[in-house]
Amino acid sequence: MQVYKKITHILYDMDGLLLNTESFYTEVTQSIVSRYGKKFDWSLKSQMIGMRSIDAAHILVDTLNLPTTAEEYLEECETKLKDMFPRTQPLPGALEITNHLNNASIPQAVATSSDRNMFILKTSHLKDWFDMFACVVTGDSPDVKRGKPAPDIFLSAANKLGANPEECLVFEDAPSGMEAALNANMNVVVVPDPAMDKTVYKEAHQILNSLSEFQPELWGMPPL
């Protein structure tokens, strides 16, 4: 069994990694594009996940040649999502691993492309859990000049934790997030959606089917 580099700090993406929100995005986006006779499938979604909302919206509108602007799509999308997000729930293994590492005094942070308002909407009913994290960096934070795959958000989180990037482990589900972690010179474990083509994650240090599979002792941390 492979043993990896010893880790001191953990950084998490949020959507599709800690929280089960991706099905909401798919449902709402398909309802919008279907009005124009278009289909939102995984070949397109795989290009969008993990990115800042406006960047993902531009990809959608341009790829499907929608007769609307990215800003108009985003406004309608977010209006519909606001009714759904208060129902978000943790994905398998998320509570267990974050609680375990918290009890082991491993500093943890969330680095999400969501803006602050959307982060609050998605997590307000899970406040006790998210209060556990040492810091949360959102996509609209002033020091995050570029979205993923640029490394800005992970470097910002590491800086707030006082961490050496080389000793950080990033958990991601999106190809753009994996690239951002690697561009930050960090280690990265990916937990892709089952519908994703796993070959796009070949540069990741480790690929898991679920956070429940994670073995912290392989990274120099106390075992579950």
Q: Which two tokens stand for residue 186?
A: 């960090």
Q: Is 187 helix (H, G, I), strand (E, B) or coil?
A: strand
Look at residue 112 and give its three-state secondary structure. strand
| Helix or strand run (H / E) with residue 97 | helix 94-103
* Residues annotated catalytic, as ranges: 13, 15
Which uninterrupted H or E stretch holds 200? none
Which token pair is 173? 């589900």
Contact predicate 217/101, CB 8 Å: no
CA angle 112, 216, 164 (to 5 degrees): 55
Distance CA 214, CA 191 (A): 10
Torsion sign (Cα): 121, 50, 187, 166? negative
Q: How many CB atoms lie within 10 A of CB 209?
A: 12
